Amino acid sequence: ELVLPLPEKTRVLTISNQKGGVGKTTTAVNLAAALARLGAKVLVIDLDPQGNASTALGVEHRADVPSIYNVIIEDLPLESVVQKSPEEGELYCVPANIHLAGAEIELVSLVAREQRLRRALDVHLAEMDEPYHYVFIDCPPSLGLLTINAFVAASEVLIPIQCEYYALEGLSQLLKNIEMIEKHLNPVLRVSTILLTMYDARTNLANQVAQDVRDHFPQQVLSTIIPRSVRVSEAPSYGQSVVSYDTNSSGSLSYQEAAAEMARRGAPQVSARTGGK
């Protein structure tokens, strides 16, 4: 049985990659479920209008359910939209639903439009007797205002990378955006973690891509790789993480191992960047 070191201060991670279908939601849900199972108190904020993270965590997100939309656009307290997931342990979710699709445009004319999630989260954390150990923000596949809100609210970025040919394409754009955010809106933001996902060991290509990513980001890439596994893709249709749907499957075990690795590595040491770069 794994014993997890718990962070003293809440680690807020945004799961980001402007490509769709690379495993962002799967990673947010399963790392969160694994950490909760190992004793951490965890919140997943669903920031994608598709609401896939809410579905996978078994949380209600019909159009009439209060959601992250009401928090970001209407200033509803975050606390009032948090739901407990039926998953094992202290796992909570702020759901997203279809209303969020319009938020990108509604945000444009609001005051402090980049800071709205951060402010709501800060208030929620400050009011809790026992704050979360981890907060994961599941981003939509774009670099719009919702994703910017996630970058401003977080201190760490976790980038899932699918082990396929185009994996590194578009990544430089993402990194440039993160650098811009760091410069102008959130000086502590760091890419702390890169997770290789949907790995198929039978192909040379997957090996090559994994090696390339490791060469580029030796500090950030977790040594654990998430294999491609049918059980991982089946779990959401049961409203479950793969960790509870099929605990001993390869996908579940690797997400548990990745979660433990993340916990052991801890939050990055952040010192002010010195100009240049």
Give me the least distance between CB of 276 and ligand ADP, in Å please: 33
Least distance CB 48 / Mg ion (angstroms): 5
Angle CA(174)–CA(178)–CA(182) in degrees, nearest 5? Answer: 170
Smallest gap from residue 131 Cβ to ligand ADP (A): 26
Select 38 or 258, whichever has its Cβ closest to ligand ADP: 258
* Rounded Cα distance, 257 and 242, in Å: 13
Residues that bind ligand ADP (CB under 6 A): 20-26, 52, 141, 197-198, 226, 228-229, 232-233, 251
Of 90 and 138, nearer to Mg ion (C-beta) is 138
* Interface with Mg ion, residue 133, by CB under 5 A: no
- Told to check if 25 binds Mg ion by CB under 5 A, we report yes
Closer residue to Mg ion (CB): 89 or 160? 160
26-55 residues near Mg ion, rule: CB under 5 A: 52
Contact 26, 252 (CB under 8 A): no
Q: Which is nearer to ligand ADP, 197 or 244 (CB)?
A: 197
Site residues, Mg ion (CB under 5 A): 24-25, 52
